[in-house]
Amino acid sequence: MLNVGIVGGTGYTGVELIRLLSMHPEAHIVTITSRTEEGLNVCEIFPSLRGHLDLIFVKPSIDVLSRCDVVFFATPHGVAMEQAQSLVDRGVRVIDLAADFRMKDLTQWKKWYGTDHSAQQLLEEAVYGLPEINREKIRNAQVVGNPGCYATAIELGFAPLLSSGLVDPRSLIADAKSGVSGAGRKQELGIIYSEIGDNFKAYGLGGHRHHPEIVEILRGITGANVELRFTPHLLPINRGILATLYANLNERSAHLVRTAFETFFENEPFVDVLPVGQFPDTRSVRGSNFCKIGLQISEDENSVLVVSVLDNLVKGASGQAIQNMNIMFGLDEKMGLNSLGLVP
Ligand SMILES: NC(=O)c1ccc[n+]([C@@H]2O[C@H](COP(=O)([O-])OP(=O)(O)OC[C@H]3O[C@@H](n4cnc5c(N)ncnc54)[C@H](OP(=O)(O)O)[C@@H]3O)[C@@H](O)[C@H]2O)c1
């Protein structure tokens, strides 16, 4: 049984970790932190957990977290990088759901996150937690940087095309839409119901923090320079990401696309390539750890369109973090992640 700690248990990815880990047969949640709700029983805030958990929110403390085998940081960026080294020194493995251990490029880090990175040595050793491309490295990682939600949908959608050299890596377009829980559990005018409901908008048009993360990973896959146009949008739904991806096919590549996807994801437990003519919707993955993918070749066979869908809080965050935990500790990768999409 693994002893697990969660830093940031009052947020959306935090409560999703608690929900999934409460049903995980090999995980025992030892401590859940919140600075604002310290002393309150977790089930008072989240009654959905009653009967499955009896823990009080505590302030984050290295001493308490050190009793764990693994600690999840479900916190804003900048928190894990201050605490991870102390935990690793005490033999605790760390999975950060924020961006602290995702990108190796420190210049990009400073540009997008506005500070110097305070755990540069640990960042060098950290592994990007996308099992479909990094499974072997994840097994022995002390620190895993769990990918962003948009990043997961987009990287899984482009990876088979880039790794098999079927598309021009300078022609990538990602038109992606997210449910509002992607912004976290906070009070902010732009995400209140009357602003979001019955509305649809693009945002981050001057640039989005996931862009450099995605480009770094895709460049690693193709080995060549990547040019990606990425536009995020806000959907009036709670959960879900739908990314519509486009790329220009190299000559005589169109007939190889489907096989490239089916081969790349052949043994992947959580990626489902849909049959010809079928495309996924967000509810087909809601509450599940699946990424579902649909494919379409343009009539002139010059370009490919990929629809990649996942639940931002599960495969886009907490589910993928637990998938990483399972890999790191030699458990069945699917353990505790068997839920299917909730329809309707
Ligand atoms: N939401 C998504 O769909 C999604 C998907 C992928 C990745 N992520 C990433 O996952 C992380 C968490 O996202 P979220 O949506 O769950 O955020 P959230 O709903 O805003 O929750 C943030 C949590 O972090 C805690 N926290 C904030 N500052 C802290 C600090 N300095 N020290 C310790 N705890 C602190 C908060 O609790 P207290 O203030 O009470 O301590 C709260 O529980 C973010 O980095 C986000 O970018 C989110």
Q: What digits encode the pLDDT tens for the residues 105-142?
A: 999 999 999 999 999 999 999 999 999 999 999 999 99
Q: Which atom of ligand 1 is the closest one to the Cα of 12?
A: 16
Given a cut of 90, whether residue 214 has pLDDT beyond it is yes
Mean pLDDT of 14-35: 98
Q: How many whole angstroms separate alpha carbon 182 and alpha carbon 191?
A: 10
- Structure confidence by residue, pLDDT tens digits, 227-245: 999 999 999 999 999 999 9
Percent share of the chain, pLDDT over 90: 99
Cα of 185 vs centre of ligand 1, distance in Å, is 8
Cα of 215 vs centre of ligand 1, distance in Å, is 24
Backbone angles phi, psi at 254, to 5 degrees: -55, -40
Q: Which residues have C-beta within 8 Å of that of residue 21, sequence separation ≥ 6?
A: 4, 6, 27, 29, 322, 336
Given a cut of 90, whether residue 267 has pLDDT beyond it is yes
How would residue 206 be classed by pLDDT, with cut points 50, 70 and 90?
A: confident
Q: Which residues are catalytic?
A: 149
Mean pLDDT of 324-329: 98
Beta-strand runs (E) in 258-323: 271-273, 291-297, 303-310
Mean pLDDT of 69-81: 98
Domains and their CATH numbers in the chain? 2-147+315-328 (3.40.50.720), 150-312 (3.30.360.10)
The predicted structure's pLDDT at residue 106? 96
- Structure confidence by residue, pLDDT tens digits, 50-68: 999 999 999 999 999 999 9
The predicted structure's pLDDT at residue 14? 98
Contact 117, 123 (CB under 8 A): yes
